[in-house]
Amino acid sequence: MKSREALQQESKAYLDDLDSQINDIKVSAERTLKYALIVGGGTLAAYVIFNAIFGGNNEGEEAEGTKKKVKKKKFKASSKISSGANMLTGELKNQAALVVLKLAADQLRKFLQESDNNGEK
């Protein structure tokens, strides 16, 4: 049977190992959460910018917490022309949104690669 001092030293060694493992987990979790917050913030910023440029409340939509009465407009013979222009505008908005989102994704990917490289050093 082991002596009491040997058991206490062994217990202390296990506690030290456990403390170091917990500290490693804390550091890893902090780093992961930091990157997740950065990516989430970037995504939110892209969403807000996209809505500011292309979205927002269109005429006839109700804003949150407000009730508006909107009168319906009477359409004239030029509605066919305006619907074609609206379709083209919508397609241009979609293409611009794709370009903006692709640029945002590239920047996030570049940032994550740089941060991974800095973390390895």
Rounded to whole angstroms, the Cα distance separating 55 from 25 reads 42
Q: pLDDT for 76-113, tens place per residue?
A: 544 555 566 677 777 777 888 888 888 888 888 888 88
89-120 residues labelled b (16+ CB within 10 A) or e (exposed): eeeeeeeeeeeeeeebeeebeeeeeeeeeeee
Is this prediction's pTM over 0.85?
Answer: no
Tokens of 53: 């440029």
- Bigger pLDDT: 65 or 103? 103
Q: pLDDT for 4-57, tens place per residue?
A: 899 999 999 999 999 999 999 999 888 888 888 888 888 888 888 888 787 755
